Amino acid sequence: ATKTIGIIVGSLRKGSFSKKIAKFLIDNAPADYTLERIEIGDLALYNQDYDEGESPSSYAPFREKIKSLDGVIFITPEYNRSVPGVLKNAIDVGSRPYGQNAWEGKPTLVISSSISNLSGFGANHHLRQSLVFLDMPTLQQPEVYLANVQNLFDDNDYLTNEDTANFLREVLDSYAKFVEQYFKNSFIPPE
Ligand code: FNR
């Protein structure tokens, strides 16, 4: 059956390079996979009081959407050597109320990027720290650090750097295998 993977982009900016990477992945989805962007910009800042009372109307559909996914791909820039607050907010919203972590068990891919040659390493690994706690099995290799992203695209937002395009296709292939393996291992045959 077709698997649905959600792509969460850690940038709200219209011209975001992370969004362009997301578009490339969607256009190059492996066979039997649907990749779709999930918006996080409309999620109000998380406040723990919401867990006991009424929560913002954007929370419930977001949590349901995450729960329905077969996997998650994070594409994040680095802000001040960490993940952008908007991404951390989405992670926090999805993780609560306590005991109802929507992220749990979703096979995950992490992609970081940067307009410098440091390629978002700090954001990549800060994100991984949260994924451990959220119990998201995460592809370890290949790691995906994209440097100097401003040079990878043409005026139509198309990824024209062939090396990066080939690398990202390989990454998607590895991730799809990882997802298949994960579901195979977690299948409990009926008695
Ligand atoms: C940045 N940028 C940045 N880059 C980096 O490599 N390490 C960093 O720590 C930071 N810090 C940082 C903080 C803030 C507040 C901004 C706005 C930017 C630059 C960043 O890589 C660049 O803006 C990217 O283009 C952001 O990704 P999108 O929006 O293109 O997806």
Encode pLDDT of 24-65 as tens digits.
999 999 999 999 999 999 999 999 999 998 999 999 999 999
**Ligand 1 proximity of 26 Cβ (cutoff 6 Å):** no
**Ligand 1 proximity of 116 Cβ (cutoff 6 Å):** yes
- Helix/strand/coil for 112: strand
- Helix/strand/coil for 159: strand
**Ligand 1 proximity of 13 Cβ (cutoff 6 Å):** yes
Q: Which residues contact 84 (CB under 8 A, 6 or more apart)?
A: 10, 11, 76, 77, 123
* Number of CB atoms found within 10 A of residue 144's CB: 22
**Ligand 1 proximity of 117 Cβ (cutoff 6 Å):** no
CA 129 to centroid of ligand 1, rounded, Å: 20
Name which of 82, 96, 164 is nearest 128 in CA terms: 82
CA–CA separation, 129 and 109 (whole Å): 13
Kindly report the backbone phi and psi dihedral angles of residue 183, in degrees, each rounded to the nearest multiple of 5, phi listed first.
Answer: -70, -35
* Ligand 1, atom 16, residue with closest C-alpha: 79
pLDDT at 29: 97
* Ligand 1, atom 13, residue with closest C-alpha: 79
- Left if phi > 0, otherwise alpha if psi is -120 to 50, otherwise beta: which for 49? alpha
CA–CA separation, 78 and 85 (whole Å): 10
pLDDT at 87: 98
Indicate the pLDDT class of residue 132, thresholds 50, 70 and 90.
very high
Specify the CATH superfamily of domain 3-185: Flavodoxin domain (3.40.50.360)
Domain ranges in the chain are 3-185
Indicate the pLDDT class of residue 67, thresholds 50, 70 and 90.
very high
